[in-house]
Amino acid sequence: MTKNSAAVESLLSQDREQVLTEWRAELSAVGGLSTDAQGTEQLLESVLTGVRADGALDSFDDKAWEKVREFLSGLSRSRAAQGSTAADTSRFVLALKKPLFAGLQRKMGQEPAALVGALWEVSTLVDSMAQYTVTAYQRSREEIIARQQQELLELSTPVIKMWDGVLAVPMIGTLDSGRTQLVMEALLQRIVDTGSTIAIIDITGVPTVDTLVAQHLLKTVTAIRLMGAECIISGIRPQIAQTIVHLGIDLQGIITKATLADALAVALKRAGFVVTRGKPAAAVTPAAD
């Protein structure tokens, strides 16, 4: 263990409570950051473990600091899920500098040259820890965003059972490759689960149709047919119809309708159902008291 590491080990062992108190006070003074008592104790204990394992203060990638990295990763994930910013998470660590500097000055004040070296190594360590939290926070946020996007995609492409043997998928928003794949997988699985023979793809909520969107639709229709079901595309507005004609997209053999209601009527007829209008039900008069 180097002289500087020994000084830090001595400080965290003998003056632990004072360092914790000064750290929490610093956290309170810097923008009202959380003074999570358990978090400060756990991080300080992890740093002490790293020092005792002969971790170089200026080399945070050493195996000795693995426990500290694990703790900081968990801290960043937790704060990212709670909505804290990367800056807040980083400042939580950086606030540890002041009490460490003050403690080292108390212990090494009579050795100015040695004190400067120790302060530099401790500063490097804390900076590396803070930078690690930013990286871990960003990675956690990306994972959260990716998961939310996946959940939104699943919510925005529900497969609805319209009637016995008739399914419908209302498409809303831009249709890209990833979303088409999700729709295709969900729809084909529901066809298998329900034994449906007709699937309606409603594109009323799709703002524009270009060559790429048309190709995605044709791929979905082909997959549905391979499963032994028939496909109807509804929501063909006049503007979309003109676009399809101008692009030269061939929808021959695919039933298209202007509205979902029209598509459902065709689907019911092909499925052998007959829907008739009955007499309106008589109004129920509330009984007198």
| Interval 6-56: pLDDT, tens | 888 888 889 889 988 888 888 888 654 555 666 788 888 888 888 888 888
The pTM assigned to this predicted structure is 0.57
| pLDDT above 50 (res 182) | yes
For residue 214, pLDDT beyond 70 = yes
In a domain, 230, yes or no: yes
Q: Which residue has the tokens 């956690």?
A: 140
The whole-number pLDDT of residue 198 equals: 95
Query: 95-139 pLDDT, tens per residue?
Result: 899 999 999 998 888 888 888 998 999 999 999 999 999 898 888
Q: How confident is the model at residue 286 (pLDDT cuts 50, 70, 90)?
A: low
Say if residue 26 is in the same domain as residue 142. Answer: yes
pLDDT for 32: 47
Residue 219 buriedness (CB in 10 A; 0-12 / 13-18 / 19+):
middle
Q: What are the distances in angstroms from CA 270 to CA 183, 217, 227, 277?
A: 23, 21, 17, 19
pLDDT score recorded for residue 259: 92
Pair (169, 254) in one structural domain: yes
Integer angstrom CA distances of residue 247 from 172, 204, 218, 238:
22, 19, 14, 14
CATH of the domain at 174: 3.30.750.24
Average pLDDT rounded to a whole number, residues 239-248: 82
The pLDDT mean for the chain works out to 84
Distance CA 36, CA 178 (A): 41
Q: Please tell me the total count of domains within the chain.
A: 2
Q: Which domain holds residue 211?
A: 160-270
Q: What is the three-class DSSP state of 263?
A: helix
Question: In this predicted model, what pLDDT tens digit does every residue of 143-181 receive, in sequence order?
Answer: 888 877 766 666 567 888 998 999 999 887 777 777 777
Does the residue 276 lie in any domain?
no
Percent of the chain with pLDDT over 90: 20
Paired residues of 234 in beta bridges: 202, 257
182, 157 Cβ separation under 8 angstroms: yes
Domain-terminating residue out of 95, 130, 151: 151
